[in-house]
Structure 1
Amino acid sequence: MNPAATGDDAAAEPVHPVLPEPTVVPVLNVANVLTLSRLVLVPVFLLALFAGDGHDTTWRLIATGVFGIASITDHIDGKLARKLGLITDFGKIADPIADKALTGAALIGLSVLGDLPWWVTLVIAAREIGVTLLRFWVIRHGVIPASPGGKLKTLTQIFAITLFLLPLPAGWLPVAWTVMALAVALTVVTGVDYVVRAVRLRARGKRAIGQ
């Protein structure tokens, strides 16, 4: 008999650490509800924007207020998702789509009213639609979160749109156009960056599954 196999040692068994079950984050959480509320506010914003003749001071202020509230939810939902551990794949996809719906509605509305040239709206819309399609193109390989440049782009777009929405004196127009020009530049640059990241992610995904 092997002495090492007697006594307590003989009864001892390998001890395996008990790992906690992975936490499942529900899709219906406060962060995602805020994201969805931003989508709900889009038609409310458009109704206010086009109320009257589209240039009524009171209604423009109301439209700007609705746009501002909807834009603030973008900051709040992201902050809550990170702080409370509520980050989901649904939120990663729905959040930028809600942003694009809000800014797209505002840009199209301003162009319809003649306050913003259509070429600005079309350049930004083409980038945003293209990025959304890219998200679905690579979704089986992963989700690309918003980059710091993308977040700066969104903030600059919101600021520029707000300046065009507000019934400001004509003297503010150069300021509004300067900010809008910066927003367009950031939109194009971050769009190119997203294409590069999407192509790389798809290539890595294909290599991982041996295609």
Structure 2
Amino acid sequence: MPGQPDIDPAVPRASVANIANLLTGVRLVLVPVFVYTLFIGDGHETFWRTTAFVIFAVAVITDHFDGALARSYGMVTEFGKLADPIADKLLIGAALVGLSMLGDLPWWITVVILVREIGVTVLRLAVLRHGVIPASRGGKLKTLVQAVAIGLLILPLSGLWLTTATVIMWVAVVLTVLTGIDYVISAIKDSRTRS
């Protein structure tokens, strides 16, 4: 049919209903549960902060497994390519805003990270018709460092542990800015290549 892309019937297409996308869905559902537990009581009760940490950690772990499963078992879908980074951004964004609202993280750090995350998401959506901008190694490292820093800040820590969490968050901020610049440069190069 004219105007239609040629689709090879011998190449199987991944179903949207697969375990990788289910894990992404679980992560999306865990975001409001995490926020709720983070704010129970005055937001600083040891039991509920520890519970919020466990929920956050489970959500972060599902992020690792959904991508690995999708790539290893041919379950990569357009839905997954789009929903996975959105789920990540919602989880990280909710944690950052929550910690800032509770006075445990300076607002400027939350703003810097969220501006970068929203900017990269908009950039990815803008070039979606030409293909997906894959996560770089730096972007994956940034996500890991952010998750570790946020996880430590969620826990009711003090002393050296809190200082360690603060240092890791500073590293996360630097990686956030550098990888954001890298994404913009990659998108510009990619658009010049297509022109």
**TM-score interval, smaller chain:** over 0.9
Cα contact 1:111–1:121 (8 A) shared by 2? yes
Gapped regions of structure 1 (runs ≥ 5): 1-18
Matching residue of 2:4: none
Identity of aligned pairs, percent? 60
Q: 2:100 is aligned with what amino acid? A: S
**Structure 2 partner of 1:55:** 44
Partner residue, 1:137:
126
| Residue in structure 2 matching 1:104, options 93, 96, 109 | 93
Question: Contact between 1:80 and 1:86, CA under 8 Å: does it hold in 2?
Answer: yes
Deviations 1:52-84 (A, max 9, x none): 110000000000000000000001101101111
User: Quick check: 1:179 aligned with 2:168?
Assistant: yes
The answer to whether the 8 A contact 1:89-1:143 is kept is no
> Aligned equivalents of 2:183 and 2:12: distance in 1?
30
Residue 60 of structure 2: aligned partner: 71
Q: Tell me the residue number matched to 1:118.
A: 107
Change (3 A) 1:27 1:202: farther
TM-score by length of 1: 0.86
Distance across 1 between alignment mates of 2:137 and 2:73: 21
Unaligned runs of 5+ in 2: 1-7
Contact 1:142 1:201 in 2 (8 A): no
Q: Are residues 1:158 and 2:155 paired?
A: no
Q: How does 1:6-85 map to 2 (within 5 A)?
A: 21-85=10-74
TM-score in terms of structure 2 length: 0.93
Q: CA deviation at 1:170?
A: 2.6
Q: Which has the larger radius of gyration?
A: 1
For 1:179 and 1:39, locate their aligned partners in 2 and report how far apart those are by CA, in whole Å. 25
Instruction: Identify the match of residue 196 of structure 1 among 178, 185, 192.
Output: 185
Distance 1:85 1:21 in 2: 14
CA distance in structure 1 between the partners assigned to 2:134 and 2:56 by the alignment: 24
AA of the residue aligned to 2:135: A
Letter in 2 for 1:192: I
Structure 2: how far apart are the matches of 1:85 and 1:172? 41
- For the residue of structure 2 that corresponds to 1:70, the secondary structure is helix
Secondary structure of the 2:156 match is coil
After superposition, give the CA deviation of every residue in 1:70-103 in whole Å (9 maximum; x if it has no partner): 0000011011011111112221221111111001
Inter-partner Cα distance in structure 1 for 2:123 and 2:14: 25
Aligned residues: 188
